[in-house]
Amino acid sequence: MTRPRLELAVGITGHRASNLAGVDLRALGAEVSKILSQLSTSLNAVGQLHRADFDPAPPRLRLLSALADGADSLVAEAALAAGWRVDACLPFPREDYAKDFEAGPSLQTYIDLLGSAGAVMELPGARADEVAAYEAVGRVILHQSDLLIALWDGDPNRGRGGTSRVIAEAIARRIPVIHLPTHEAGAARILWSGFESVDFEQPGIDDVPQTAAAETLPKVVAALTEPPQQEIDRRMLQQFHAEPSVRGMPSLAYPILLAATGVRSLSRRDLQPVRAVDGIEALGAPLRDSRIDPDFFAIIARRYQVGDTTSTHFGQVFRSGFVSNYLLAGLAVVLALSGLLAPAFKLPLIFAELGCVALILINTQAGKRLGWHERWMDNRHLAEQLRSLALSSLMGDLGLRSTTGTRDAAAIPGWVGWLARATARETGLPGVRVDEDYLRTVRDDAVKLIDDQLAYHRANATRMQKLEHRLNRLGEIMFGATVAGCVGWIVFKLSGLPMGTKGHVGLTEVVTFATAALPALGSAIYGVRNQGDFAGGGFRSEVTVERLASLRLAMVADRLEHQRLLARLRSLSDIMLSDVANWRTTFKARPLTLPG
């Protein structure tokens, strides 16, 4: 099913029980339940309004909690009572983390919440640096969350790893924060820079826009989850949901061009329909650790297969489209000039010329109507987003509200970003203990993906540079031959040699044909070069190879640490998506048009 389930992921941060002394926990719990109810109502409203864009399964709300005694457990219990799914991220293995709880009701609540959790991720924190372990949990919760509920006393001066630090980081990442005051009366407020149409500075706790939660919560939920409303995004989403898993054999003009220039020979794959690759292997990052449920990847794999198959098909169709257009334009000129050499066949030659022009018009209109250009680039962008997600999700990073690097850049089409985020929400938190063996497995998968990408980009750089060089050389030969023909005709003319016999095709007609046809074909070849940007593609692949090779060296040399590996995976994602964004920037201004 390519339509995503409507979900909302909510994180919780707040004070521990020791810092909630004197707080009316029953009243605070009632406020929490009210917020949870408002979130549920708001999400259901999005589902009703956009039911055609989502899977028919009921909307699901998911709470991310560290289950610490105090705000975390209070909100987790309220969420379970409201029918939410609760996922837990722990700073230490669960047995070690149990030492944070006093024997009695506090410890029992922790055990009960663990038993009710949909997924539990146990981070490899060390007691020697507890603050770093708690910070790591806070970051994973932010990586997983669309918005954050904060049970906070309003004091921004608490130390490293505290509630105020998590809130400040959430605000910096443009994650909406629902602030519930704990030590003074006051209604819940939403802290979010999204209320401003333009951000001029990095927002902070003191200057972030604030509104009453009761008034703006439905708008915030809608902004986070509703599908894009631009006409092109709506159309592209509908096409994506209707894409088949097997595409018919694409046009062959581009593969034939590669074969004709000696870049590579035609392969059996060029002549076969494009099919989706089954299984997780399609992502290029098969996790070999048996502790991860294969179903964890099922949603990512299904949408990746559709995006990858569609992109591969329309990439070849689009390239073959502009190759055909330019070569048909050159052929049309040759046919028009052929009347000079074969006047008796003038009429059929005109019909053949008209046929070439008609094919160009039909091809161009088909490309525009079926969106070859957009379906190639957008689906490739989606596929690479999902391939990155397959790795980063293993570390708890869904990138729902990332604003760094290219993952949230304006170059990403609206429908692609929306569907990638919806897929990330459905993927959720991996239920796994993150130990050294697990980190090594994830790192090995990342290195394998890098190696696959290195092999592709090295081959692509060589192929593109070779194609650019040979097309350029062929064009030079044609224009050089044109000059030689003109000079030769002048020499013959000035020397008084016979130019032909009456009633027959003479040297003048042959030279006229050649010196007009060769530049036309040379211009067609230069048109293919310009449209295909083969030199630029080769250069971009070379740059990507350099960046990937450096990252691979660093990743292999690194110590096996959760935060360090997570940072490396973000760098890998940014490299891969930067390459796609550069392709998109190049080809966005070069849609399929009439040769000219």
Residue 161, domain CATH: 3.40.50.450
Q: Kindly calculate the radius of gyration of the chain based on its CA atoms and give it in whole angstroms.
A: 31
Q: Is the per-residue pLDDT at 269 higher than 90?
A: no
Based on the domain organization, do 389 and 264 belong to the same domain?
A: yes
Instruction: Assess if residue 593 is contained within a domain.
Output: no
* Domain termination residue (choose one: 225, 257, 288): 225
Number of domains making up the chain: 2
Residue keyed to tokens 């919440």? 113
- Token pair, residue 45, equals 């409203």
- Kindly state the average pLDDT of the residues 265-284: 72
Strands 210-212 and 189-191: antiparallel
Based on the domain organization, do 488 and 525 belong to the same domain?
A: yes
User: What confidence tens digit (pLDDT) does each residue in 551-579 have?
Assistant: 999 999 999 999 999 999 999 999 998 88
Reported confidence tier of residue 197, pLDDT bands at 50, 70, 90: low
Based on the domain organization, do 400 and 528 belong to the same domain?
A: yes
Instruction: Assess if residue 194 is contained within a domain.
Output: yes
* Residue 477 lies in domain: 246-588
The residue among 90 and 412 whose pLDDT is bigger is 90
User: What confidence tens digit (pLDDT) does each residue in 378-405 have?
Assistant: 999 999 999 999 889 999 999 876 543 3
Residue burial 372-385, b: 16+ Cβ < 10 Å; e: rest: bbbbbbbbbbbbbb
Q: Is the per-residue pLDDT at 53 higher than 50?
A: yes
The residue among 9 and 2 whose pLDDT is bigger is 9
> Could you say which DSSP state residue 26 is in?
H
**Do residues 11 and 142 lie in contact, with contact meaning Cβ atoms separated by under 8 Å?**
yes
Based on the domain organization, do 540 and 418 belong to the same domain?
A: yes
Based on the domain organization, do 208 and 274 belong to the same domain?
A: no
Q: Is the per-residue pLDDT at 546 higher than 80?
A: yes
Which pLDDT belongs to residue 499?
A: 65
Instruction: Assess if residue 380 is contained within a domain.
Output: yes
* 208, burial (CB in 10 Å: exposed 0-12, middle 13-18, buried 19+): buried
* Domain termination residue (choose one: 225, 259, 280): 225
* 214, burial (CB in 10 Å: exposed 0-12, middle 13-18, buried 19+): middle
Instruction: Assess if residue 111 is contained within a domain.
Output: yes
- Token pair, residue 353, equals 């010329």
Based on the domain organization, do 285 and 204 belong to the same domain?
A: no
Which pLDDT belongs to residue 247?
A: 76
What's phi and psi for 61, nearest 5 deg?
A: -110, 135
- Average pLDDT in the chain: 88
Reported confidence tier of residue 366, pLDDT bands at 50, 70, 90: very high
* Domain termination residue (choose one: 225, 260, 276): 225
Q: Is the per-residue pLDDT at 31 higher than 70?
A: yes
Q: What percent of the chain has pLDDT over 90?
A: 64
Q: Which residues contact 105 (CB under 8 A, 6 or more apart)?
A: none
The residue among 186 and 303 whose pLDDT is bigger is 303
Instruction: Assess if residue 374 is contained within a domain.
Output: yes
**Do residues 243 and 309 lie in contact, with contact meaning Cβ atoms separated by under 8 Å?**
yes
What's phi and psi for 210, nearest 5 deg?
A: -130, 145
Based on the domain organization, do 254 and 213 belong to the same domain?
A: no
Strands 147-152 and 7-14: parallel
Instruction: Assess if residue 309 is contained within a domain.
Output: yes
Q: From CA 525, how far away is CA 198, in angstroms rounded?
A: 45
- Kindly state the average pLDDT of the residues 159-186: 85
pTM above 0.85, yes or no: yes
Which pLDDT belongs to residue 155?
A: 75
Which pLDDT belongs to residue 55?
A: 94
Based on the domain organization, do 49 and 197 belong to the same domain?
A: yes
Lowest mean pLDDT among 150-154, 270-274, 451-455: 270-274
Instruction: Assess if residue 123 is contained within a domain.
Output: yes
Which pLDDT belongs to residue 493?
A: 76
Q: From CA 127, how far away is CA 125, in angstroms rounded?
A: 7
**Do residues 212 and 38 lie in contact, with contact meaning Cβ atoms separated by under 8 Å?**
no
Q: From CA 115, how far away is CA 520, in angstroms rounded?
A: 74
**Do residues 422 and 241 lie in contact, with contact meaning Cβ atoms separated by under 8 Å?**
no
Based on the domain organization, do 177 and 297 belong to the same domain?
A: no
CA neighbours within 13 Å on the CB side: how many for 588? 11
Based on the domain organization, do 139 and 213 belong to the same domain?
A: yes
Which pLDDT belongs to residue 407?
A: 41
Based on the domain organization, do 191 and 300 belong to the same domain?
A: no
Which pLDDT belongs to residue 567?
A: 93
The rounded Cα 16 to chain-centroid distance in angstroms is 38
Which pLDDT belongs to residue 583?
A: 80
Q: From CA 61, how far away is CA 38, in angstroms rounded?
A: 12
Based on the domain organization, do 373 and 510 belong to the same domain?
A: yes
User: What confidence tens digit (pLDDT) does each residue in 75-129 have?
Assistant: 999 999 999 999 999 999 999 999 999 999 999 999 999 999 999 999 999 988 8
Which pLDDT belongs to residue 158?
A: 60
> Could you say which DSSP state residue 439 is in?
H
Which pLDDT belongs to residue 216?
A: 93
Phi-psi region for residue 279, left (φ > 0), alpha (ψ -120 to 50) or beta?
left
Instruction: Assess if residue 529 is contained within a domain.
Output: yes
